[in-house]
Amino acid sequence: MTGLYPDTRLRRTRASGWSRALHREIVLTPADFIWPLFVTEGAEVEEPITSLPGVSRWSIDGIAQRAKEAIALGIPCIALFPNTQADRRSDDGTEALNPDNLMCRAIRAIRDACGDDIGILTDVALDPYTAHGQDGLLDDRGYVTNDATVDVLVGQSINQAAAGADIIAPSDMMDGRVGAIREALESGGHVNVQIMSYAAKYASAFYGPFRDAVGSGGLLKGDKKSYQMDPANGEEALREVALDLSEGADSVMVKPGLPYLDIVRRVKDRFEVPVFAYQVSGEYAMIEAAAAAGAGDRNALVMETLTSFKRAGCSGVLTYHAPVAARLLNG
């Protein structure tokens, strides 16, 4: 016996469906998904997003319906992103602090409709509220300032927590914001509000359709490279994660998803904490475009990519395919 072929034939366990099921290492379920949703003003409004075929912005009544749909599908959590009206955007993004802004009204409507049956994750960053589309405050040279931005992000987080958010998800990549937000949540009595930090968020070309969806795409001049990470860097992602965990993050996120699965695995191996990934808008659009061009079966592409996230070490995935995938899994 050599332990080699022909004693060992790895095809033996693949020969039948029952055996493949028995040997499957990880199993994807609808409970692995967080469903990102775009909120817009008005009543009974559904606005399809051209660059994200199959995804719409919904007015608050529609968002509450989507939350009920998520519960029915077994999806445990939704992520909210507001499309703020142009006349409510400003250079300093103070609409983020308004207790009656679109985000806060959506949180309260979901809570009214669904109680505690669904988790509500809210994005913290100023880009849906700034007139310039950057995630923070600009100095007179157009640089996104760190510490002054963190002060506003803390206010934004407390505003969302007071409205009923369960998970605060800072996506801005300012240094020190997790610690500042954690301290404010603790002293504000929101001790069970989680922080899921976008710890390793890269300056990516895959965010285009999202920026259309929240209306910041046309406003943004330049790029976000002075705060989001260089796609060439992996060790730096581990430093980002270490800092956010030390500052009080409950879980960390890697973003985008598929091009950064190596980062997911390195983070999981190093820290053994809950890791999430965001399969971002450009990844969703890429799969839909491939399927529309006849380059692959859409449902199979969706399931294969989502399975890959779990295999790489993710506790869950933020994905616009969440309802599609949940329906496929629920049969």
Task: For the segment 68-87, give every residue that binds ligand PBG (CB under 6 A).
Answer: none
Rounded Cα–Cα distance for residues 17 and 317 (Å): 27
Which residue out of 201, 224, 268, 310 is catalytically annotated? 201
Would you tell me how many other CB atoms lie within 10 Å of the CB of residue 70? 26
Query: Across the chain, how many H-helices and E-strands are there?
Result: 11, 10
- Report the residue from 211, 266, 268, 321 that binds ligand PBG according to the rule CB under 6 A: 211
Which of ligand PBG, Mg ion, none does 240 bind, CB closer than 5 to 8 A by kind?
Mg ion
Residue 197: CB minimum distance to Mg ion, A: 8
Under rule CB under 5 A, residue 240 binds Mg ion = yes
Under rule CB under 6 A, residue 150 binds ligand PBG = no
The encoded tokens of residue 13 equal: 């366990």
The encoded tokens of residue 200 equal: 């390793």
Cβ-count burial 141-150 (b if 16+ within 10 Å, e if not): eeebebeebb
Under rule CB under 5 A, residue 283 binds Mg ion = no
51 contacts: CB under 8 Å, gap ≥ 6: 208, 209, 212, 213, 281, 285
240 in a labelled binding site: yes
Angle CA(21)–CA(24)–CA(30) in degrees, nearest 5? 90
Under rule CB under 6 A, residue 63 binds ligand PBG = no
- Report the residue from 281, 305, 308, 319 that binds ligand PBG according to the rule CB under 6 A: 281
Rounded Cα–Cα distance for residues 234 and 265 (Å): 11
Under rule CB under 5 A, residue 172 binds Mg ion = no
Under rule CB under 5 A, residue 247 binds Mg ion = no
Inter-CA distances, 47 with 44, 50, 71, 83, 287, Å: 10, 9, 23, 11, 21
Which residue out of 68, 224, 255, 310 is catalytically annotated? 255
- Report the residue from 180, 280, 285, 317 that binds ligand PBG according to the rule CB under 6 A: 280
Which parts of this chain interact with ligand PBG (CB under 6 A)? 123, 125, 127, 135, 171-172, 207, 210-211, 224, 280-281
* Residues contributing to the site for Mg ion (CB under 5 A): 240
Q: Which residues are annotated as a binding site?
A: 240
Tell me the catalytic residues. 201, 255
